[in-house]
Amino acid sequence: MGAEKLTILVCDDSILARKQLKDVIYATAPDAEIFDAANGQEAVDKYKELNPDVIFLDIVMPVKDGITAVKEISEYDEDAEIIIVSSTGTQTQLKNAIEAGARDFIQKPFSATQVEKVLRSRIQGE
């Protein structure tokens, strides 16, 4: 990763999924500043507060689901680098996520390589 410090927001209602994702991100970008959100509403609020370089977002979450959060974040920032990480990777969900403004989709269970590849492509345009 480049010298500039990355800010990354990880949003999943599962504390375990957040930890696993953060571990993989730290391995790829050790200097990154990573923040958490546990539902879609928190993700929208924290995005507006932090303006992160990348946001990883689950779909199935309480309070506000991931797709609604993607729409609201995209309306706020049309250049938002939103990556969906979900086990519900149906064609319909994928289409909904992309139409709402997501840039990429990672199917759970994810591998470290998948996350690293997507993160690099979003940050460096590789």
Partner 1 sequence: MFAQFFGAYLLNKEAVTRDQLSEAIQKLSDARIKLGTLAMHQSLMTASEVDEVCFIQTREDKRFGEIAVSRGYLTDSQVDSLLKAQTPDYLLLGQNLVDIGALSNTDLERLMSEYQSETAIDDMSIENNDKSVELIHTFFKISGQHVNDETILYMNLLFNDLIRFVGSDFTPLAPVALEDYPIDFCVTQKVTGQMNIESRMDMGRDAAIQFASRYAKMDFSEFDEYVTASLEDFLNLHNGLFSVNMSNQASMELILEPPYEESGDLLMLPKNSFMLPVIFPFGTVSLILSFY
- Distance (Å, rounded) from C-alpha 53 to C-alpha 8? 6
Among 9, 17, 24, 100, the residue binding partner 1 under the rule CB under 8 A is 17
Among 2, 3, 79, 92, the residue binding partner 1 under the rule CB under 8 A is 92
Among 86, 115, 118, 122, the residue binding partner 1 under the rule CB under 8 A is 86
Verify binding: residue 2, partner 1, rule CB under 8 A: no
Distances (CA, A) of 85 to 4, 36, 80: 25, 14, 15
- Distance (Å, rounded) from C-alpha 115 to C-alpha 112? 5
Q: Which residues bind partner 1 (CB under 8 A)?
A: 13-17, 19-20, 60-62, 86-92, 108-109
